Amino acid sequence: MDPFLKPPKILITNPTVPQIALDILGRNCELIHTKDDKRESILEKVSGVDAILWATKVNLDVEILDKAGPQMKTVGAMSAGVNNIDVPELKKRGIRLGNTPEILDDAVADVAVLLALGAARRLHEGRLKIEKNQWTPGLTWMLGQDVRGSTVGIVGLGGIGQAVVKRMKGFSVSKFLYTGHREKSEGKELGCHFVSLETLVKDSDFVVVSCPLTPETRQMFNDSIFDKMKKTAVFVNVSRGEVVDQDALIRALKAGKIFAAGLDVMTPEPLPADHELVKLPNVVLLPHLGSATEFTRNGMAEVTAHNILRGIAGEEMFAEVC
């Protein structure tokens, strides 16, 4: 970097960003830190920065962009999903946006399989039986659903969906279905069958949601879709909570329209401790831990840092949204 030029100012929007990103960016940039990842803290510090490391659930919108100023031309999102970023507005302003797909595929797929198995074998309900001193075993007590010989439907056969298929092949699954905008060569390579959403939910024993949140997918899982699913079906969501009409899911679980659900994402986040989902025995919940491994989060932070540096330098990002 030219010693006569001022170092770029980078806003770090979350005080828990892994150190590896700070080390990479801090070599030649001035780092501006927020006290937390809340909107007010970001607005307080964003003015005059050249780039933003976006690691928060806050919406990156016109207000924050206006406050940042016209010199801000690079955003690095430490996530695969960018549903909380106004991408059209960034495009309009000529602001480059990078994200972190692929690096988190394996970790999120692990959680999807964990939730599928946990929900199918009544993990949460079994724990409740122990806590309530209701351990009364019998030959037909607490029977779950088999993965062996099942049909698994993947909604969104991107990197995460493909990683789920690769893992579940080891469980002697009979057939894999997937749905999306178009048939994919990766689907053929994995031996998956491309079908409509209606066919997938009707025929699948496990429905795994790994699609991005878009206006098209928002609340795509509603009463009508749950009504089409098998009563023995297990529903797994590692996408975004807003992909599901959560009230419809709760109704389906209570009425026995589906067997169980495993959720890493929900609405809102954090979920209140007294929420109806928490009270249901046939739901396995995780507090959005899909990418929460040390290796994965460090990898995401490293890619984000390099995306920012490349964006500032006018170079191609490792993963560029716009």
Report the catalytic residues: 288
72 DSSP 8-state letter: -
From the list 106, 70, 99, the residue with the least C-alpha distance to 83 is: 99
Residues in contact with 31: Cβ distance below 8 Å, sequence separation at least 6, in sequence order = 10, 12, 22, 25
Distance in angstroms (rounded) separating the CA atoms of residues 139 and 296? 42
From the list 202, 120, 208, 121, the residue with the least C-alpha distance to 157 is: 208
Distance in angstroms (rounded) separating the CA atoms of residues 232 and 237? 17
Structure tokens at 229: 């699913």
Residue located via tokens 């024993």:
205
Is the CB of residue 307 less than 8 Å from the CB of residue 24? no
Please tell me whether residue 77 adopts helix, strand or coil conformation.
Answer: strand
Query: What are the DSSP calls for 189-244, one per residue?
Result: HTTEEE--HHHHHHH-SEEEE-PPP-TTTTT-B-HHHHHHS-TT-EEEE-S-GGGB
Structure tokens at 237: 């969501």
From the list 318, 309, 310, the residue with the least C-alpha distance to 28 is: 309
